[in-house]
């Protein structure tokens, strides 16, 4: 059994800040926990727009607090995000994530992240190399 707290993890390198300044993510559970997924608490800062295209990962995102929207590039659909909303990127959906009020999100990635990943120029994380 593994027990961690958000408060402690925030002070370690589990807390990853995006180079573009749009978000920070506290990666509470990673690949080396051998769970088959990783689990993060992410803050998306108000007033930001982030292009995301997880070509090599699936992600499920649950909104705990804040307010924003997601726009899927393929069809231009816009979905509001508010507390209680979950969105599931089951098709590696390319999208824009916009935050109007700081959003706190719980995020699950499959395959799990290693811990140090930041978005590349396409808004992806590189695939795990095993």
Whole-number minimum distance, CB 118 to ligand 9YT, in Å?
8
H/E stretch holding 6: helix 6-9
The pair of structure tokens assigned to 23 is 């978000």
Whole-number minimum distance, CB 21 to ligand 9YT, in Å?
12
Three-class SS state of 115:
coil
Contact in structure between 27 and 112 (CB atoms under 8 Å): no
Residue 87 lies near ligand 9YT (rule: CB under 6 A): no
Whole-number minimum distance, CB 97 to ligand 9YT, in Å?
6
* CB-nearer residue toward ligand 9YT: 1 or 24: 24
What residues from 88 to 117 belong to the interface with ligand 9YT (CB under 6 A)?
A: 97, 105, 107
Beta-carbon contacts of residue 106 (< 8 Å; ≥ 6 apart): 39, 40, 41, 42, 61, 62, 64
Question: Could you say which of 14, 31, 40, 95 contacts ligand 9YT (CB under 6 A)?
Answer: 40
Q: How far apart are CA 59 and CA 39, in angstroms?
A: 10
Q: How far apart are CA 77 and CA 72, in angstroms?
A: 6
- The neighbouring-strand residues paired with 61 are 87, 107
The pair of structure tokens assigned to 82 is 């508010």
Whole-number minimum distance, CB 25 to ligand 9YT, in Å?
3
What residues from 44 to 63 belong to the interface with ligand 9YT (CB under 6 A)?
A: 52, 59, 61
* CB-nearer residue toward ligand 9YT: 1 or 35: 35
Query: Contact residues for ligand 9YT (CB under 6 A)?
Result: 23, 25, 40, 42, 52, 59, 61, 97, 105, 107
């Amino acid at each position: 059994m593994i027990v961690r707290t958000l408060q402690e993890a925030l002070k370690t390198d589990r807390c990853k800040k995006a180079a573009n300044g749009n978000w920070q993510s506290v990666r509470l559970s990673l690949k080396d926990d051998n769970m088959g997924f990783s689990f993060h608490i992410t803050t998306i800062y108000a007033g930001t727009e982030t292009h995301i295209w997880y070509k090599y990962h699936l992600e499920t995102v649950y909104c705990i607090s804040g307010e924003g929207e997601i726009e899927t590039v393929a069809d231009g659909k816009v979905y509001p995000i508010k507390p209680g909303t979950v969105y599931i990127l089951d098709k590696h959906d390319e999208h824009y994530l916009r935050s109007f009020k700081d959003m706190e999100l719980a995020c699950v990635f499959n395959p799990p992240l290693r811990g140090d990943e930041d978005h590349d120029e396409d808004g992806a994380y590189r695939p795990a190399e095993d």
